[in-house]
Amino acid sequence: MPRITSLDARVVSYRFAARPEPLSLGSALRRDVVLVRVTCEDGSVGYGESFHGHAGSAVAEIVNTTMQEVVVGREPHETVAVNAETFRRFVLAAGMSGGLLLALSGIDIAMWDAWGKVKGEPVHRLLGGSATDFEVYGGGFTLGFQPPDELAREVRRMVDGMGFRAVKLRIGDAPERDLARVRHIRETFGGELDIMVDANLGHRYDVGRLAPELGDLGVGWLEEPYPTGSPESFVALRSRGRVPVAAGENLGGAHEFADWIRRGALDVVQPDVSRVGGITEALRIAALARAAGLRFAPHISHSCLNHAATLHVLSAAGGDGLFEADGSVVNPFRDGVFSSETVIADGRASVPQDPGLGVVVDEAALADYPGERGSPFPRT
C-alpha cells in the first residue's frame, strides 16, 4: 500500500453574483470550501472538504501545520489511526475540538478518497455498503426569509425542475411570518410535499413556541431550535411530542452525539461529515442513531466532495437514511470546478460509482476561485 507523501489545504471561494435570501444567520456573501488534498507515493490524490464556519484560513492552517505529523507517512487506509491520534492528542485531552475536528474531517474524507482510488473501488464498497440511491430533500441557501409567493416559486422550481418531493424551509425570522411561509407552502403543494423546517439555532425568538402549529401543518421535523450548548432545551421540546426534533451539524464527535442521544434530545440525528470528523466518525454516529431507533439524516456542506462522502456514508449506514440535496441553481463547487456523477431525479440521489468518492477536481480551474479570508456572513 503506498504511503501518503504530502498533505495540504487551501481555501477556495465563490462570491455570489446576487446574495441569497437571508436566514437566521444572515445572508452569505460567498461559499467557502477548505479543500484538503493528500498525495500518495504512487501518484494517487485524494480530496476532502473541511467545513470552517467563519475562519477558513485558520482551518487550512491547522491542516498545513499541526496535522502534518499525524498524517504524512501513513497509508491512506489508516483513517482509524489518524482519528484516534487526533482525538487523543487534541480533541479530548487538550479541549481543542473546534478547529482540529474540522481539519480532521477534510483529511479523513481525502484519505478515504485516496484509498478508494488506490484500490479501484468506490468508497461505499470499501465500507461494505450496498444501497446505491436514497430519498432526498431540498435544502441550501435558496429557501430563506422571502415573501410566501416568492418562496412558493422557488419550491416549485425544485419540485418540477429537480424532482424533489421534500424541502426544508427556514424559520427564525418572526413567529407570524414564519408560520405564514410554512402555511403557504403547505396550502400550495398539499400533502404531496414533505416539509421540514430549520431554525439555524433559533437566534431571534423561542421557535419552540411554534411546535403545536408546525405539528398541525404536518412538518417532518424542527431543526436546531436552540443553541447546542443547551441540550436540556431540546429534551424539553421533544418531550412535548408536537414535532420531531433534529440537530447535529454543530455537534462534535460521536461522544457528543452519544450524550445527546442518552439524554433523549433528538429524534433526527444530523452529523456533517465535513464537521464531525469525516466519514470514519460519521459512521460511528450512524451506528448510535440506528441502535437508538432514531432517524439518520446527515447535514451537507458546500461542495460535492461533501455530498458524495455523505452518500457513501448513507450506503454504509444501512441505506435507509435521508440525503439533503443542494437546491441552488448555480454552485460551481457542486457541478463546476468540482463535479461528480451523482444524479438527483424523481426524489432520489444516486451514489457515485467511480473509484474513491467519485468526484473530479479541476485543479487548473481552482485559480478562478481564490480563497477569501474572514467570515462569509457579514455582521448584521
CATH of 124-363, picked from 3.20.20.120, 3.40.50.20, 3.40.1080.10, 2.40.50.140, is 3.20.20.120
pLDDT tens per residue across span 288-323: 999 999 999 999 999 999 999 999 999 999 878 899
Most confident segment among 17-21, 278-282, 324-328: 278-282
pLDDT band at 336 (very low <50, low <70, confident <90, very high): very high
Q: Is 349 helix (H, G, I), strand (E, B) or coil?
A: strand
Distance CA 51, CA 48 (A): 10
Q: Does the structural domain 4-121+364-368 have CATH classification 3.40.50.720? A: no
pLDDT tens per residue across span 192-217: 999 999 999 877 899 999 999 999 99
Per-residue buried b or exposed e for 296-320, using 16+ beta carbons within 10 Å of the residue's own CB: bbbbbbbbbbbbbbbbbbbbbbeee
Q: Is 241 helix (H, G, I), strand (E, B) or coil?
A: coil
- For the chain, give the mean pLDDT: 95
pLDDT tens per residue across span 105-114: 999 999 999 9
pLDDT tens per residue across span 8-41: 999 999 999 989 888 888 899 999 999 999 999 9
pLDDT band at 75 (very low <50, low <70, confident <90, very high): very high
Which is nearest to 155 in space by CA: 144, 146, 143, 137? 143
Q: Is the predicted pLDDT of residue 118 greater than 70, yes or no? A: yes
Residue 225's alpha-carbon distances to 51, 132, 142, in angstroms, are: 21, 32, 20
* pLDDT score for 94: 63
* pLDDT score for 21: 87
- The 8-class DSSP code of residue 209 comes to G
Kind and range of the H or E run holding 350: strand 348-350
Alpha helices (H) along 217-350: 231-240, 254-263, 279-291, 304-317, 332-335
Distance CA 48, CA 301 (A): 11
Q: Is the predicted pLDDT of residue 360 greater than 70, yes or no? A: yes
* pLDDT score for 95: 62
* pLDDT score for 254: 97
Q: Is the predicted pLDDT of residue 225 greater than 90, yes or no? A: yes
Query: What sign does the CA torsion over 252, 327, 267, 170 have?
Result: positive
* pLDDT score for 121: 98
**Could you tell me where in the chain the CATH 3.20.20.120 domains are found?**
124-363
Cβ distance 190 to 184 under 8 Å?
no
Residue 238 grid coordinates: 421533544
**Could you tell me where in the chain the CATH 3.30.390.10 domains are found?**
4-121+364-368
Which is nearest to 199 in space by CA: 170, 178, 228, 227? 170
Kind and range of the H or E run holding 123: helix 123-126
Cβ distance 207 to 178 under 8 Å?
yes
Q: Is 5 helix (H, G, I), strand (E, B) or coil?
A: strand
Share of the chain above pLDDT 90, in %: 89
Q: Is the predicted pLDDT of residue 96 greater than 80, yes or no? A: no
Q: Is the predicted pLDDT of residue 277 greater than 70, yes or no? A: yes
In the numeric block, the cell 504511503 is attached to 3
Distance CA 204, CA 121 (A): 47
